[in-house]
Structure 1
Amino acid sequence: MSIPNAIKHTQTDSALSNIALSNTRDHLLTTGYKLIAQKGFTAVGIKQILDTAGVPKGSFYHYFASKEAFGEAIISHYFTQYKQRLNIIGSQDVSAQQKLYDYFQNWYDTQQSGCDHEKCLVVKLSAEVSDMSEPMRKVLHTGYQQTITWLATQIKAGWVDGSVPHPANVAAESMAKRWYFAWLGASLVTKISQTDTPLAEAWLMTTTAMGR
C-alpha cells in the first residue's frame, strides 16, 4: 500500500469509527428515553439500559460520567428533536391559529392515559428529578422555555393575521405561559386520575381562547 493510499485508508477508518461512536451514543439515548418515558428516571438502572441497548458498560461511561449526566443528555436530546417538530409545525403554510391548534392536538393525542411510549418527557420528569438533580432541572427549564417562546411567537403572528383573538392587556408571552402551564398540569392530573378529562378541559380552554 502506498503512503497516500495508507493515509486515505486511515482517514476512512477514522471517519467510520466516529460514525460508529456517534451511533452508539444516539442508540443509548434513544433506548434510555424509551425506558425512562415508560418507567421514570429512578426506576431505570444503568444495567437495564445497557442490557436493552446491547451495549457494554465501558461504552456507557465513555460517553456519560454518571446516570445523572446521561439523564441530562437525554433531556437535551429530547428538546433538540422537539424543536425540530416545532419548526415543522411553524413552517406550514397555514394560519397561526392552525399551527397552535396542531401543536395542542398533538399534545392531546400523545398525553392521553392510554398512551405510554410518546409521553412528554417534561411531564414525566418534572416532578421526579427537579429536586434531586440541579443539572437536569436546568435543562428541563431551558427546554420548556423554548416551547413557551415558540407559542408566544405563534400567538403574536395570530394577532397580526387576525386568526387568534387579542385580549386587552395580555402579553403574548403571558398567554403562552398560561396555556403551557395549564397543559402541563392537565397532563400530570391525567396520570393521577387515569382519565382524559383534565386534557379535555385544557383543550376546551385553549381552543376557545384561540377562537376555535
Structure 2
Amino acid sequence: MTTTTKDQLLATGMGLLLQRGYNDLGIQAILKATGTPKGSFYYHFRSKEDFALQAIDRYMAEVHQGLDGALTDASLTPLERVRRFFEISRDKYGQDGHLGCMLGGLGQEMSGISEGFARRIEQCFSEIAGRLAACLAEARDRGELAADADPREMAELLLNCWEGAALRSRLRRDPRPLDDMLDFYFSRARSA
C-alpha cells in the first residue's frame, strides 16, 4: 500500500499531537519528523488548525474501526462487546506509551481556546456514545441490564469515566486506572 505525503503527515502528526498537544506542536516539528517540505504541508492543509481537525477525523476513523470490530462480534454478549471496545482502546494506549485518548487530550487543552475544536471533539464523543448506546440497548433488551436502564445515559457515563481514567493512566503511564474503571463500571452495570 502506497503512503501519500498527506497520510504520512497525519500519521506522524497524530503521534506528535498526542505527545505534545496542540499548542506545543509546531508545523516545523511535523515537517522535520516526516522530512516533508513546508510547501507540501500547505498543499494538504490550510493551517495548523486544519491539520489538527483532519487528524481528529483520522483518529475517529480508527475509533470507528475499533467500534465496528468490537460491537459486531456476535461471539460476545452485548456488554462483553462494549467492554471489548474499551480493552482494545486500552491496548492501543499502551502501544502509544499510555498517553491516553487524543480526543480527551485535545479537548482538555483546546476547549477553552477554540469553539471549533470544542464542537468537533464533543461531536466525536457523541458519535462514540451513540454507538455504545445502541449496543447497551441490546444488552438491556437481552436482560443483561435492568429493564429501566437508559442506554444513552449509561453510554455517556461510561465514556466520561473512561476519559477520566485515561487522564490518570497518562499521568501514571500505567493502564491500571483504565482496568479499575472498567471492572467497577461493568460490575455495577450488571447489578443495577
TM-score, normalization by structure 1: 0.79
Alignment match of 1:189 (pick from 150, 165, 168) = 168
What is the match of residue 23 of structure 2? 42
Aligned-partner residue type, residue 121 of structure 2: L
What is the match of residue 4 of structure 1? none
Task: Please give the per-residue CA displacement for 1:33-81, whole angstroms capped at 9, x wherever unaligned.
Answer: 0111122222211011011111110011112111111111101111122
Aligned-partner residue type, residue 86 of structure 2: F
Distance in 1, Cα, partners of 2:145 & 2:126: 23
Aligned-partner residue type, residue 82 of structure 1: V
What is the match of residue 174 of structure 1? 153
Question: CA offset at residue 118 of structure 1?
Answer: 6.6
Distance in 2, Cα, partners of 1:197 & 1:87: 25
Matched, 1:208 2:175: no
- CA RMSD in angstroms, aligned pairs only: 2.5
Identity %: 26
Aligned-partner residue type, residue 184 of structure 2: M
SS in 2 for 1:201: helix
Aligned-partner residue type, residue 123 of structure 2: T
Alignment match of 2:36 (pick from 55, 58, 69) = 55
**Structure 1 unpaired stretches of 5+:** 1-19
**Structure 2 unpaired stretches of 5+:** none
How many residues align? The count is 190
Matched, 1:122 2:103: yes
TM-score, normalization by structure 2: 0.87
Aligned-partner residue type, residue 166 of structure 1: A
Q: Is the 8 A contact 1:38 1:117 kept in 2?
A: no
Matched, 1:109 2:88: no
Map 1:9-158; keep pairs closer than 5 Å.
23-94=4-75, 95-111=77-93, 115-116=96-97, 119-158=100-139
Q: Is the 8 A contact 1:31 1:53 kept in 2?
A: yes
Q: Is the 8 A contact 1:165 1:209 kept in 2?
A: no
Aligned-partner residue type, residue 109 of structure 1: D
Name the larger-Rg structure.
Answer: 1
Task: Please give the per-residue CA displacement for 1:143-178, whole angstroms capped at 9, x wherever unaligned.
Answer: 11111001101101112223x22263x411001111
Distance in 2, Cα, partners of 1:31 & 1:167: 46
